[in-house]
Amino acid sequence: MEIVQAGDPVLRKVARPMSVDEIRSVSTQHLIEQMRDTMRAAPGVGLAAPQIGESIQLAVIEDRSDYIKDISSEQLSARQRSPVDFHVIINPKIYIAGETTVDFFEGCLSVAGFAALVRRGASVRVECLNERAEPITITAQGWYARILQHEIDHLNGTLYIDRMRTRSFTTMENVNLFWKSRTIEQVREDLGIDS
């Protein structure tokens, strides 16, 4: 499947909710499989239906262990990042838990090749349906909470560039070249961004 890029109007629409019958349909189950395969091939940790041109409230998420094997234990700890099994969220409602926020570099498969610091809630609760149209509640912290916020933003017509610290906007190449080994505090200081 082709991942649409920033500028495509579908990325700026609020996606429509899905009915139980629609969720359980063969076509939706097939779409979920295709989205999973597309996300893995990209590779990415999440993919929302608007990113493949479908304006529906559906996203797939997975943070595989092979994605984090080359990240230092210090960076994993700072990001509160650990593997997340593949799962589907449909018609989600998100609640930020507490007032703690965290800045980290974020990229997007629909803004290919770029990244920026984005401030997100450190903990969230998500109430949604799974791929069988069963109600589930997800509580998440750290990187997993960030992924959920990012993907649910897509379902509401929002991209990370709407929330980014504009002075930090950079190419992925430069993230790896200049910022990857620095703490977020050092990055903010170097770029003149307030905490």
For the chain, which residues make up each domain, given as ranges? 9-191
Residues annotated as catalytic (active site), given as ranges: 151
| β-strand partners of 63 | 84
Closest CA to 106 of 1, 5, 179: 179
Mean pLDDT by 10 residues, the chain (195 residues): 97 98 98 98 97 98 93 88 97 96 97 98 98 98 98 98 97 95 93 90
In this prediction the pTM is 0.96
Neighbour order of strands in the sheet with 114-121: 101-107, 114-121, 170-171
Fold of 9-191: Peptide Deformylase (3.90.45)
